Amino acid sequence: MIKIKNISKSFNDKSVLRNINGEFDKGKTNLIIGSSGTGKSVLLKCIVGLLHPDTGYAFYDLRNFTDADKDVKSEIRREIGMLFQGGALFDSKNVEENVMFPLDILTKMPYDEKLDRVNFCLKRVGLENVNKKMASEISGGMKKRVGIARAIVNNPNYLFCDEPNSGLDPQTSILIDELILEITHEFNITTIIVTHDMNSVLGIGEKIMFLHKGDKLWEGSNEDITHSGVKELDDFVFINKVMKSLKGTKLV
Amino acid sequence: MKEFGRYMIFLGSLVVRRETFITYYRLVIEECMQIGVKSISLFVLVSTFMGAVTTVQTAYNLVTPLVPRYVISQVVREMTVLELAPTIMAIIFAGKIGSSMAGGLGTMRITEQIDALEVMGINSSSYLVLPKVVASMLMYPMLVIVAGVCSIIGGYLVGTLTGILTPTEYVMGIRSIFNDYSITFALIKSFVFAFLIASISCFKGYYTQGGALEVGIASTDAVTSSVIAVLLADYFLANLLL
């Protein structure tokens, strides 16, 4: 479980996040949603330590990560897997080397064992026989899958996904969402997903936090999202004609 | 001054929270291949022509019959060892390797590859930059030696084939009044220049923010700043060591 307490962040006097509190449950897909520019990615970066919040803390199973010393931070980071928006695969390495990279750096496993683990993870995300392809030779959807394989190769306790469906067609998006959901349940990990994709919200939003202009306005599940009573959230959810026509009905 | 302070902090970050020796060893070898082996043809080409042109121009300026012709190759040797091989090659090194380092790191920054390393608990600056700096300091002095040899050979070929001076005169000039401290000075300069070019270029690339346009700007900045630093260092080292 990950808990955040009073997280605030500003850039050049512009307040991006204000006193965000919340809990992200283990074994569930926890979504942070909101329109573009509401601070979702900044919150995620504050949680994983890529940005230091001005105030507040992130706790990983009661361990204070934000104020931890470098050794403790390093230890916790070894339990983290992260899928970046563009995949963030290393251009100079092929698919196999990309997925094997965390094992090379963080473990002393023999090569054969590492290769077995890499092949297991690639198979788990539905990719086989692409080991020797370079990152630039594979499609966007495949890059996301490789990114997921790299994120789970080290058996993480915490999985972070920054807009996993961006730039993907709806069908591939759903496949990626389902993959993340399955992996979360299968390995019982705490997964946090930043998204503004309504298919993801309705499909895999087991726990949802809604941000609006730097404030947390609502928390709940995909079952409650259509009748939250929060105007800003309704504006976000019922944005098109199809969704508007479904207002008041139970979608999940 | 603020930029200089950030640069010093950046240099400090290269030597903390390091990975294992074997990791760095592999990375340094890879970088040596990129920096050294892939640059050698350019260095050979440029330095050979540099030596050839120096020979022709020195001969053109020596109009009095009172100066023996072997002085031409002596001038070529001194200019090559003291300035042309370490300093002019440093500018070429900054243009080829410095811009490539800044561009590569800038691209890694904007495509979140550096963030990916940080999330894994890896000190990204140390992991990515330290091997480049070490490899530059290993390879650049070797490239300078190759450039020096090629420059002198270039001078020999042009000088003898065009009849400016005979092979015996050329070799005599190369060997006369030779002070081996010039070589030591050139190698000290090449170590310092390699460190400056690699570290400044990586610094510019590592802190790139924005998109493709900013990566281009970082590459240009890297070359400009490295060249200025090299010229300043060249002046100070000459004052200090000669």
Range B160-164 contact pairs with CB under 8 angstroms and sequence separation of 24 or more: B162/B56, B164/B55, B164/B56, B164/B59, B164/B69, B164/B72
Closest partner residue to B119 among A75, A80, A90, by Cβ?
A80
CB contact under 8 A, B112 and A84: yes
pLDDT at B66: 84
pLDDT at B2: 83
CB contact under 8 A, B121 and A74: yes
Residue A245 has pLDDT above 70, yes or no: no
Gap between the Cα atoms of B134 and B128, Å rounded: 11
Alpha-carbon distance B147 to nearest alpha carbon in chain A (angstroms): 29
Question: Residue B196 — very low, low, confident or very high, per pLDDT cuts 50/70/90?
Answer: very high
pLDDT at B52: 94
Nearest CA in chain B to A46: B119
Gap between the Cα atoms of B163 and B52, Å rounded: 13
B112 to chain A: which residues are within 8 Å by CB? 84-86, 88
Closest partner residue to B115 among A50, A104, A105, by Cβ?
A50
- Judge whether B215 and B110 are in contact, CB under 8 Å: yes
For B232, other C-beta atoms within 10 Å of its C-beta total: 11
Q: Tell me the domain boundaries of chain B.
A: 24-241
Alpha-carbon distance B128 to nearest alpha carbon in chain A (angstroms): 12
Q: What is the mean pLDDT of residues A137-164?
A: 89
pLDDT digits (tens, 9 = 90+) for B92-149: 999 999 999 999 999 999 999 999 998 888 889 999 999 999 999 999 999 999 999 9
Alpha-carbon distance A149 to nearest alpha carbon in chain B (angstroms): 14
Rounded to 5 degrees, φ, ψ at A55 are: -135, 160
pLDDT at B14: 86
Closest partner residue to B120 among A75, A89, A106, by Cβ?
A106
Secondary structure class of A112 (helix, strand, coil) = helix
pLDDT digits (tens, 9 = 90+) for A27-75: 999 999 988 888 999 999 999 999 999 999 999 998 999 988 888 888 8
Q: What share of chain A is helix, strand, coil (3-state, %, to 5)?
A: 40, 25, 35
Residues 124-183 of B with CB under 8 A from A: none
pLDDT at A16: 92
pLDDT at B69: 87
pLDDT at A174: 87
Gap between the Cα atoms of A105 and A33, Å rounded: 33
Q: What is the mean pLDDT of residues B16-26?
A: 84
Question: Sheet harboring A2-11: ordered strands across?
Answer: A14-24, A2-11, A55-60, A63-64
Domains of chain A from N-terminus onward: 1-79+157-224 (3.40.50.300), 93-155 (no CATH)
Task: Give the CA radius of gyration of chain A.
Answer: 18
Beta bridge partner(s), residue A29: A191
Q: What is the mean pLDDT of residues A116-129?
A: 88
pTM of the shown model: 0.85
